[in-house]
Amino acid sequence: MNEILVPFLISVMAAATPLLLAATGELVAERVGVLNLGVEGMMLAGAIAAFATANVTGVTVLGVLAGLGAGIALALLFAVISLTLQANQTATGLALTIFGRGFSALVGAGYVGIPAPQLPKIHLPVLSDLPFLGPVLFQHDVLVYLALAILAAVAWCIRSTHMGLILRAVGDSHDAAHALGYAVVPIRYGAVLFGGAMAGLAGAYMSLSYTPMWAQDMTAGRGWVAVALVTFSAWRPFWLLIGAWFFGALMYMSLYVQALGVAVPSALLSALPYIGTVVVLVLISRDARRIRLHRPAMLGLRFQGRA
């Protein structure tokens, strides 16, 4: 049983990491009232920037930093258009995704089929050698643990700090927050740039660890799943983690169900994460009270006051 369960759990942890990184960034952005649907585009830009940089320099750390920087750059573009120029956030986010896909395809055309340095796995003395728990929990690369640490820090910040109170205030009533003296637009800029950084890291993980190669549209809709995860979690970090693991399990279900010899079409199993996303969102939408209770009231709305 362990021969199947251990690889499955390792795969779930790996598959959940890009979702967790991107969704954590989107959670912070939505908490201040900004709906950024450009997560998929920022992930793709981060993936190609990380892959190309690591391929040229041979240094994976520089690749990760390049991916982070690419995500921030596209997030800054989104912030300027939607927050400063006050364009529609939904349309701007969709345009950002289209731009990110085109940009990554153009830059990545010369890198298809070329290997790149892979993020090394961490080995912790004693812990990594434990039976069962060792390979499942203590033999991943640094971005897996960084994703968990960032989520824990965000959860603590939102729930227990003055900064978190400000973020929630801006998301629930930007006019009231502005009247209290808080700079709404700069706060939203910071949240959007953080979201871009997380999406860029998610893309870097995809191209340097999860599948250490470049392929066009390699994120395969994970940016959209990350956006859906924020709604699934009702804007609460703990449920974001549960959702990321759940969708990570669905993404690897095809491989392990086939290994068990179950006669299910592989195409159907590959579609499970996206079917699951639709089903979950439909179920959540039926509970309007839950959505109203946790949803930031200003989500997607323009702020008309001064910065």
Higher-confidence residue of 215 and 266: namely: 215
* pLDDT tens digits, 197-230: 999 999 999 999 988 888 888 998 899 999 999 9
299 pLDDT exceeds 60? yes
Higher-confidence residue of 73 and 266: namely: 73
Residue 201: the pLDDT is: 97
260 pLDDT exceeds 90? no
Helix axes 272-285, 237-259, angle to 10 degrees: 140
Query: pLDDT tier at 307 (50, 70, 90 boundaries)?
Result: very low
Please answer whether residues 21 and 143 qualify as being in contact, where contact means their C-beta atoms are separated by less than 8 angstroms: yes
Please answer whether residues 143 and 121 qualify as being in contact, where contact means their C-beta atoms are separated by less than 8 angstroms: no
Q: Where are the domains of the chain?
A: 2-294
- With b for 16 or more beta-carbon neighbours within 10 A and e for fewer, the 123-157 pattern comes to eeeeebeeeeebbbbbbbbbbbebbbebbeebbeb
Report residue 77 CA to chain centroid gap: 18
Question: What is the CATH number that goes with domain 2-294?
Answer: 1.10.3470
Query: pLDDT tier at 134 (50, 70, 90 boundaries)?
Result: confident
Residue 61: the pLDDT is: 94
Average pLDDT over residues 262-285: 74
36 pLDDT exceeds 70? yes
7 pLDDT exceeds 70? yes
Q: What is the pTM of this model?
A: 0.92
